[in-house]
């Protein structure tokens, strides 16, 4: 805990994660819906709503999380003043009262109690069911989340583009400051400003930001980030992953749900760009990695990456923050390629218009993706589950990405810390083009979801439960898909010879 002269209390940024949480929706947005016919009877209309809850209990307080729109028809309302006291104590954001059939009008005592506490009270007309209000709120939250995800994705692409410029560190700071609408400062280990960008801030805020960065410091095992207020601004500081005590400080007028994610991407890039002892070869390779982040096809950066061979790694775990992902990259001795920035979106950074399900940039949401020389080797890392590809040439990164994704699914299903993709010896004895043609013929009746289900099911020795875990579907869905495969292929999947033949075909596609 920070104890200094500034009126500021550093705390971990709220709800850290690789994607922003659903932003709250202002009550005014619900009131503005003419189809609902809601009417504000007491309190302000600009309060944020995080969720909605319906209860007819005499005391709903113990069942509230705080921040919700509590809806009731007053079935057990006997003491309005005490009821409102309990609702306010539980932290509800607003109260919605439905009239008829229990009450013909909203009780005046309830209006008075809400007005005394400043708790918004909304009248729900008889024609509006509570489910319609709840559905409207969820839709507004979904729209707000989609808007925030798009904003974060655009910011990530902007930061990656800045990292590829001739003066990348100032460019990344400038892009970050522009996207967050504030100031971004890179502090040295001694607390001095190394570089800065964005609009100037009051001296009080500048001192507070420097003090907040000092809370992190270069201490091993210390906090990776902290936040607070100072000089009328929202402040945040993030330790870079290079181990040299550098810290990123950000000062903004407000803090959006996705700002922590955007800053996390900047931390990853700045850690990469400021890493000590970067040789010319590493600089060229890092530039190629940034181009991959921007969506460049692997074949176009093959020369910059070198002939290889390379290993693609997919990882899940950590604490869900970009800082943990950067730490994993440092432990494996490679720059970070993708920290799951596209989570929750159809196309993450690096996903081209024609990218398939196994293309770089379209990894499963929340997956960390890394690229390192095959000679470096991959070892298990505490707190992480890893899937590693077989060594591949730079021109075959797409295939390596698919291998790593499948290996990670096997690792998660078998609860192994590390699974490596291994080429099958017999496959090398058959001409690749002939094998691919045979595979297309054998698997032609199957759709892509059936093909993937069959692949995972065979790889897990026909285990329904482990296949369901690996594919994140219900075990009954697995059974239905495998039964469908057997019907379409007209083969007995219990026959080991059939399983071997299909496995060969799946790996020859």
Cα separation, 484 vs 167, in Å, equals 56
pLDDT category, 82, cuts 50, 70, 90?
very high
**Does residue 497 sit in helix, strand or coil?**
helix
Residue pLDDT, tens place only, 462-472: 999 999 988 88
Residues 248 and 171 in one domain: yes
Overall size of the chain counted in residues: 509
Handedness of CA 284, 287, 293, 299 (dihedral sign): negative
Residues 216 and 306 in one domain: no
Residue 342 has pLDDT above 50, yes or no: no
Domain harbouring 229, CATH code: 3.30.450.40
pLDDT at position 250: 94
- Cα 362 to the center of its chain, rounded Å: 13
Is pLDDT larger for residue 37 or for residue 166?
37
Residues 346 and 389 in one domain: yes
pLDDT category, 347, cuts 50, 70, 90?
very low
Structure tokens at 328: 């994993």
Residue pLDDT, tens place only, 231-290: 889 999 988 865 567 889 999 998 877 788 788 888 878 877 776 545 555 556 666 665
What total of structural domains would you count in the chain? 4
What beta strand segments (E) does 31-160 contain? 39-42, 48-49, 51-54, 68-72, 94-98, 121-124
pLDDT at position 20: 42
- Strands 51-54 and 247-252, bridge-based pairing: unpaired
pLDDT at position 13: 37
Structure tokens at 420: 């490596």
Residue 298 has pLDDT above 90, yes or no: no
In a domain? residue 2 = no
Q: What is the pTM for the complete model shown? A: 0.54
Cα separation, 26 vs 38, in Å, equals 14
In a domain? residue 95 = yes
pLDDT at position 259: 84
Which of 388, 404, 422 is a domain's end point? 422
Residue 478 has pLDDT above 90, yes or no: yes
In a domain? residue 160 = yes
Which of 395, 422, 449 is a domain's end point? 422
Beta bridge partners of 310: 373, 392
pLDDT at position 103: 94
Cα separation, 290 vs 336, in Å, equals 9
**Residue-wise DSSP of 131-164:** HHHHHHHHHHHHHHHHHHHHHHHHHHHHHHHHHT
Cis peptide before 309 (omega within 30 of 0): yes
Residues 366 and 484 in one domain: no
**Residue-wise DSSP of 273-333:** HT-SS--HHHHHHHHHHHHHHTT--GGGGHHHH-S--EEEEEEEETTSSHHHHHHHHHHHT
Instruction: Give kind and range of the element (H or E) at residue 127.
Output: none
In a domain? residue 18 = no
**Across 4-8, 54-58, 433-437, 473-477, least confident range:** 4-8
Share of the chain above pLDDT 70, in %: 76
In a domain? residue 13 = no
Residues 402 and 324 in one domain: yes
pLDDT category, 8, cuts 50, 70, 90?
very low
Residue 22 has pLDDT above 90, yes or no: no
CA-to-CA dists, residue 447 to 454, 467, 490, angstroms: 11, 18, 15
Residues 197 and 90 in one domain: no
Residues 123 and 170 in one domain: no
Residues 152 and 70 in one domain: no
pLDDT at position 427: 59
Residues 285 and 369 in one domain: yes
pLDDT at position 18: 37
Q: Identify the top-confidence range among 109-123, 323-337, 340-354, 373-387.
A: 109-123
In a domain? residue 231 = yes
Residues 96 and 173 in one domain: no
Instruction: Give kind and range of the element (H or E) at residue 44.
Output: none
Cα separation, 240 vs 263, in Å, equals 11
Cβ-contact 76, 58 below 8 angstroms: yes
Cis peptide before 101 (omega within 30 of 0): yes
Average pLDDT over residues 474-495: 91
**Residue-wise DSSP of 237-259:** EEE-TTSS--EEEEEES---TTH
pLDDT at position 77: 95
Domain harbouring 304, CATH code: 3.30.70
Domain harbouring 90, CATH code: 3.40.1390.20
Helix axes 168-180, 130-163, angle to 10 degrees: 160
In a domain? residue 443 = yes
Average pLDDT over residues 31-39: 95
Structure tokens at 374: 């095959």
Domain range enclosing 172 = 146-273
pLDDT at position 128: 95
Cα separation, 56 vs 70, in Å, equals 10
In a domain? residue 434 = yes
Mean pLDDT of the chain: 80
Residues 266 and 357 in one domain: no
Domain harbouring 463, CATH code: 1.10.10.2840
> What own/partner pairs with CB < 8 Å and gap ≥ 24 does 139-146 have?
140/25, 140/29, 140/30, 141/22, 141/23, 141/24, 141/25, 142/22, 144/22, 144/23, 144/24, 144/25, 145/20, 145/21, 145/22, 145/23, 145/344
- Cα 43 to the center of its chain, rounded Å: 35
Phi, psi at 258, each rounded to 5°:
-95, 0
Nearest to 263 by CA among 246, 279, 244, 240: 240
Looking at residue 63, the DSSP 8-state letter turns out to be G
Cα separation, 178 vs 164, in Å, equals 17
Residue 2 has pLDDT above 70, yes or no: no
Q: What is the CA radius of gyration of the chain?
A: 27
pLDDT category, 219, cuts 50, 70, 90?
low
Cα separation, 146 vs 25, in Å, equals 13
Which of 273, 300, 325 is a domain's end point? 273
Residues 238 and 204 in one domain: yes
pLDDT at position 72: 96
Looking at residue 341, the DSSP 8-state letter turns out to be T
């Amino acid at each position: 805990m920070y104890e200094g002269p500034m009126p500021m209390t550093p705390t971990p940024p709220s709800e850290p994660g690789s994607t922003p949480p659903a932003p709250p929706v202002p009550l005014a947005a619900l009131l503005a819906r003419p189809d609902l016919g809601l009417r504000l009877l007491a309190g302000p209309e600009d309060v944020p709503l995080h969720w909605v809850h319906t209860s007819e209990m005499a005391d709903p307080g113990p069942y509230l999380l705080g921040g919700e729109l509590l809806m009731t028809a007053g079935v057990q309302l006997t003491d309005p003043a005490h009821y409102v006291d309990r609702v306010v104590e539980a932290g509800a954001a607003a109260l919605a009262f439905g009239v008829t059939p229990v009450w013909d009008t909203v009780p005046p005592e309830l209006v008075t109690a809400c007005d005394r506490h400043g708790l918004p009270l909304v009248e729900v007309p008889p024609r509006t069911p509570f489910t319609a209000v709840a559905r409207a709120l969820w839709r507004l939250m979904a729209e707000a989340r989609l808007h925030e995800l798009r904003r974060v994705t655009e910011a990530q692409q902007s930061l990656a583009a800045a990292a590829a410029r001739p003066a990348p560190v100032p460019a990344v700071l400038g892009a970050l400051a522009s996207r967050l609408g504030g100031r971004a400062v890179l502090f040295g280990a001694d607390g001095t400003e190394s570089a800065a960008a964005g609009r100037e801030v009051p001296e009080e805020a500048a001192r507070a930001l420097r003090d907040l960065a000092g809370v992190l410091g270069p201490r091993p095992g210390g906090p990776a980030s902290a936040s607070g207020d100072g000089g009328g601004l929202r402040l945040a500081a993030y330790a870079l992953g290079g181990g040299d005590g550098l810290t990123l400080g950000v000062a903004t007028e407000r803090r959006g749900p996705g700002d922590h994610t955007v800053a996390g991407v900047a931390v990853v890039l700045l850690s990469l760009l400021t890493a000590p002892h970067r040789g010319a070869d590493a600089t060229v390779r890092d530039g190629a990695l940034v181009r991959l982040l921007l969506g460049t096809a692997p074949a176009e950066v093959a020369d910059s990456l070198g002939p290889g061979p390379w290993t693609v790694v997919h990882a899940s775990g950590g604490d869900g923050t970009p800082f943990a992902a950067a730490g994993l990259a440092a432990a494996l001795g490679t720059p970070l390629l993708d920290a799951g920035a596209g989570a929750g979106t159809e196309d993450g950074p690096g996903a081209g218009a024609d990218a398939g399900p196994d293309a770089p940039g379209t990894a499963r949401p929340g997956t960390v993706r890394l690229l390192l020389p095959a000679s470096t080797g991959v070892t298990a890392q505490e707190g992480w589950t890893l899937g590693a590809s077989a060594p591949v040439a730079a021109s075959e990164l797409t295939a390596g990405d698919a291998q790593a994704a499948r290996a990670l699914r096997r690792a998660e299903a078998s609860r192994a810390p590390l699974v490596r993709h291994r080429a099958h010896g017999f496959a090398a004895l058959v001409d690749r083009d002939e094998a691919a043609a045979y595979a297309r013929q054998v698997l032609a009746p199957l759709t892509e979801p059936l093909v993937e289900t069959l692949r995972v099911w065979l790889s897990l020795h026909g285990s329904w439960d482990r296949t369901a875990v690996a594919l994140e579907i219900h075990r009954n869905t697995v059974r239905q898909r495998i039964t469908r495969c057997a019907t379409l292929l007209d083969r007995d999947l219990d026959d080991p010879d059939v399983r071997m033949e299909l496995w060969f075909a799946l790996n020859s596609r």
